[in-house]
Amino acid sequence: LYERLSRYLRMTTESDKAFEAIERALELVPASPPSEERARVLAGYSGRLSLIGRLREAGAVAEQAVIMARDVGAKVVECGALNTVGIVTCYLDDDVKGLRQIADALALAKAAGDPYQQMRSHWNLHVCASEAGRWEESVARARQAITELPRLGHGHQLPEMYRYLQEDLVKLGRFDQARATADEAIGRFSARRDEALSVHLLIALGEFDTARRVISRRDIFEDEEDRMEM
């Protein structure tokens, strides 16, 4: 319960309380013998560590969680911890290896039939590819996520993913495709144009006044943790 509380507190951006809750979970679940509960708490702890910038430590704890989850046959916990391992690897060491680890986590999540971990994997594959400057792969991952998120019960995340897709297309200089993507989002969600277009696309189109209005309403420089599902 404390592990789950920590996850929800993180979603409401109460980072300090989220960390306190996961530390309490660590105190309550013994390290020995190995258990699914301990592996789950370790996976959650690694995620919280990553969000406060302690990436090396987060990777080490996530690897412990992967090993323990495999030992006790906790497939869902394993793919969640492997997701965090992949993110840390992407940011600190090797984006090719890290993306492969996240793809492995996605395959595990599909095999386990877990929609939440599948959603995490789709988001993290897109974000890590984008952060690594692998724009073609990032575009492909965003399109894949747009297809899969509704099936996984996360259709509410589509407007945000559409905007990130536009940003990647702008980085590739594909302004026509970015505009078409925005039009698709407008048609799909009946959204206002300034809500559907990414700020970077508005700037690329020279619509600076609209971009300023959007920036004043929307924090486009959100913490990366809001974009990632660590």
CA dist 89 and 186 (Å) reads: 36
Half-sphere exposure of 26 (CA within 13 A, CB side): 15
Q: Could you tell me the two tokens for 141?
A: 């991952």
> How far is the CA of 201 from the CAs of 163, 177, 197, 208, in angstroms?
9, 11, 6, 10
Query: Cis bond leading into 33, ω under 30°?
Result: yes
Average of per-residue pLDDT values in the chain: 90
DSSP secondary structure, 151-185, as one string? TTT-GGGHHHHHHHHHHHHHHTT-HHHHHHHHHHH
Q: What percent of the chain has pLDDT over 90?
A: 73
Confidence of residue 223 (pLDDT cuts 50, 70, 90): very low
CA dist 103 and 48 (Å) reads: 21
Q: What is the pTM for the complete model shown?
A: 0.87
Confidence of residue 16 (pLDDT cuts 50, 70, 90): confident
Q: Find the mean pLDDT for residues 223-230.
A: 47
DSSP secondary structure, 28-52, as one string? HS-SSS--HHHHHHHHHHHHHHHHT
Q: Tell me what pLDDT residue 218 has.
A: 63
CA dist 36 and 44 (Å) reads: 12
Choose the weakest-confidence range: 27-41, 116-130, 176-190: 176-190
Amino acid at 71: D
Q: Find the mean pLDDT for residues 51-61.
A: 92
Amino acid at 43: A
Look at residue 21 and tell me whether its pLDDT is greater than 90: yes
Q: How crowded is residue 191: how many other Cβ atoms within 10 Å of its Cβ?
A: 15
Look at residue 34 and tell me whether its pLDDT is greater than 70: yes
> How far is the CA of 117 from the CAs of 33, 122, 195, in angstroms?
26, 9, 28
pLDDT, one tens digit per residue, over 146-204 is 999 999 999 999 999 999 999 999 999 999 999 999 999 988 887 677 778 888 899 98
Q: Tell me what pLDDT residue 175 has.
A: 93
| Angle ∠(113,117,122) on CA atoms, nearest 5 | 110
pLDDT, one tens digit per residue, over 66-110 is 999 999 999 999 999 999 999 999 999 899 999 999 999 999 999
Q: Find the mean pLDDT for residues 32-56.
A: 93
Residue with tokens 């993507």: 181
Q: Tell me what pLDDT residue 198 has.
A: 87
Q: Tell me what pLDDT residue 15 has.
A: 79
Look at residue 225 and tell me whether its pLDDT is greater than 50: no
Q: Tell me what pLDDT residue 219 has.
A: 56
- Rg, C-alpha atoms of the chain: 18
